[in-house]
Structure 1
Amino acid sequence: MAGGSGATGWLAGYTALITGGGSGIGRAVAHRFVAEGASVAIYGRDPEALSKAVADSPDPDRTHAIEGDVRDSERLHEAVAETVDRFGGLDTLVANAGIWDYQRQLTRLTGAELAATFDELFAVNVKGYLLAAEAAWRELVKTRGSIVMTLSNASFYVNGGGPVYTASKHACLGLMRELAYELAPKVRVNGVACGGMNTDLRGPAALALDGRSISASFARKKPDSPPPAIPLHDSSTDPADFTGSYVLLASREQSGPVTGQAISVDGGIGVRGFATPAGGDHL
């Protein structure tokens, strides 16, 4: 597709649509894709964040903002059409928009809070991915393109969030695998299972956490704080350092035979030793 005159890199000539592209890992992936030669449409709810992401892009002319909510199927279809109209096609969908439950445990939520949080968080984290894929698959078939989903260490392990977030990310892992089957052989579907990073990840409005950002947790850390319980405990928390796997999976030339796979970019959680054996000792 139209990648801009003189664009070079692993994604030269590609076009991508990234949901949740105005901040955090979505913004970092958008900027990395542009640096790799792609034209990118970023989709999100915050017009100011979208405008800033475009202005800060390595090439603003190849970066286009579209305001919308991932829970809105009609708007997602419009976003796909707008991306194709502007850049000539669609090669990659990055399903990325999400919210976190701030590790609110089952025993610390009322039934009403749990129900409302589940409905909101699953609507964004799971239904948002499914609706984005439904809006994009026809164009991706035309280009033999791909979908890359932002997963999480919580797609495989416990306590990366509370029960609602963990369940949502396990669901996204299953969704990625199912769509990899359903869309083969025309469209590859993969995921990047990210670990903790310094990103503007928000919480559900149902718990009055929609104005809170996970980045504040990183900002409060002191130089002498104990390291995170991961083998690569001195690794970066900058979202830009998590973007390489997205480039790899988006590139036909680099990962053409790869589908239904999740690349873990989490500092090695799967090979760490034992820590606290139970999470309910306070009960």
Structure 2
Amino acid sequence: MSPRLSGLSMLVIGAGSGIGRATALAYLGEGATVTAIERDPEHAAGLRQAGADRPLHVVEGDATAPEIVATAVEAAVAAGGRLDQLTCCVGVFDHYVSVRELGMPQLIAAAEEIWRVNVLSALVAVGTAWPRLRDSRGSVTLTLSESAFHPVGGGVLYGSSKWALRGVVQHLSADLAPQVRVNGVAPGGTAGTRFSGLRALGQQERTVDSRAGREERIAAGTSLKITPTPEDHAGAFVYLADPRAARAVTGVVINSDGGRDPS
């Protein structure tokens, strides 16, 4: 039996660490050709090393920049002969900041930054990739969060951006039908993720795994009493990218959050 993504060409945006990296490697493991965008040179080098001797192509640059996304889309087509799937994993965190703590200039700057990175970048990527995805009758997978369903896992800035992406999945699934399927994955708290905070608030050097006891708190809040790893989410991305297994699936968000503890 051939790998389930054999012959497919995938573009993963924000693939250098965490869930994006695990997903890119999972796609490779299932036989796909993968093109990745990663801004951090160290993360890009680590991804290349992890995907050595496999059809992995890394474009270094800011995934929120339209010209970088356009370059990567065409690189994916050149590498795989087409573009079958776009996965967006770019994100920035707010470290639970409250509007009560922010002056108005800070609030506006932080909200604009988190919208640009978490939401607008996905819309730019989809808009850029759409003609190629249409030609292949491909698919899009966006990365949401448990914060798109519950007031947990971040503050109001992060949570509202993920709620917005939940709406993006619904609207794009209608807008791009019938040629392109659009779905999402909503991970819960995850070990081994290192996405950083808002530059507008001076948080850019802080990462989500910097809080003491974080993994224990994540496990305690799930029904399964586990702390997921990036690899635990990758299977949901692989399923949604599979044009046979998920042929009839669009407008769907898979919640890979360990279940919400009702207590």
TM-score between the two structures when normalised by the length of structure 2: 0.95
Report the Cα distance in structure 1 between the residues aligned to 2:15 and 2:147, rounded to whole angstroms.
21
How many Å apart are 1:236 and its aligned residue?
3.8
- 1:224–1:192 distance in 2 versus 1, CA, 3 Å: closer
- 1:109–1:9 distance in 2 versus 1, CA, 3 Å: same
Q: For residues 32-69 of structure 1, give each alpha carbon's deviation from its aligned partner in whole angstroms, at most 9, with x where no partner exists.
A: 11011111111021122112111112x54311110122
How many Å apart are 1:145 and its aligned residue?
0.5
- 1:67–1:222 distance in 2 versus 1, CA, 3 Å: closer
| Aligned match of 1:232 | 224
| Aligned match of 1:260 | 251
How many Å apart are 1:114 and its aligned residue?
1.0
Deviates more, 1:242-251 or 1:200-209: 200-209
Report the Cα distance in structure 2 between the residues aligned to 1:119 and 1:223, rounded to whole angstroms.
30
Report the Cα distance in structure 1 between the residues aligned to 2:97 and 2:72, rounded to whole angstroms.
33
How many Å apart are 1:136 and its aligned residue?
0.6
How many Å apart are 1:212 and its aligned residue?
1.3
Is the CA contact (8 Å cut-off) linking 2:8 and 2:80 kept in structure 1?
Answer: no
Q: Could you say what the CA RMSD is over the residues aligned between the two structures, in angstroms?
A: 1.8
| Aligned match of 2:144 | 151
Is the CA contact (8 Å cut-off) linking 2:9 and 2:85 kept in structure 1?
Answer: yes
Deviates more, 1:7-16 or 1:97-106: 7-16
Paired residue type of 1:39: T
Partner SS state of residue 205, structure 2: coil
In the alignment, is residue 273 of structure 1 matched against residue 262 of structure 2? Answer: yes
Question: 79, 83, 97: which one pairs with 2:90?
Answer: 97
How many Å apart are 1:225 and its aligned residue?
7.0
Q: How many residues align?
A: 262
| Aligned match of 2:178 | 185
Report the Cα distance in structure 1 between the residues aligned to 2:216 and 2:39, rounded to whole angstroms.
37
Partner SS state of residue 165, structure 1: helix
Partner SS state of residue 140, structure 2: strand
Paired residue type of 1:136: A
Report the Cα distance in structure 2 between the residues aligned to 1:257 and 1:222, rounded to whole angstroms.
37
| Aligned match of 2:124 | 131
| Aligned match of 1:207 | 201
After the TM superposition, list the runs of 4 or more consecutive aligned residues in structure 1 that deviate by more than 3 angstroms. 222-227
Deviates more, 1:76-85 or 1:165-174: 76-85
Q: For residues 67-113 of structure 1, give each alpha carbon's deviation from its aligned partner in whole angstroms, at most 9, with x where no partner exists.
A: 12232112211110111112211110001100110111111222121
Paired residue type of 1:139: R
The gaps in structure 2 that reach 5 residues or longer are none
- Report % sequence identity: 35
| Aligned match of 1:44 | 38
The gaps in structure 1 that reach 5 residues or longer are 1-6, 275-283
Is the CA contact (8 Å cut-off) linking 2:39 and 2:60 kept in structure 1?
Answer: yes
| Aligned match of 2:56 | 63
Is the CA contact (8 Å cut-off) linking 1:54 and 1:60 kept in structure 2?
Answer: no
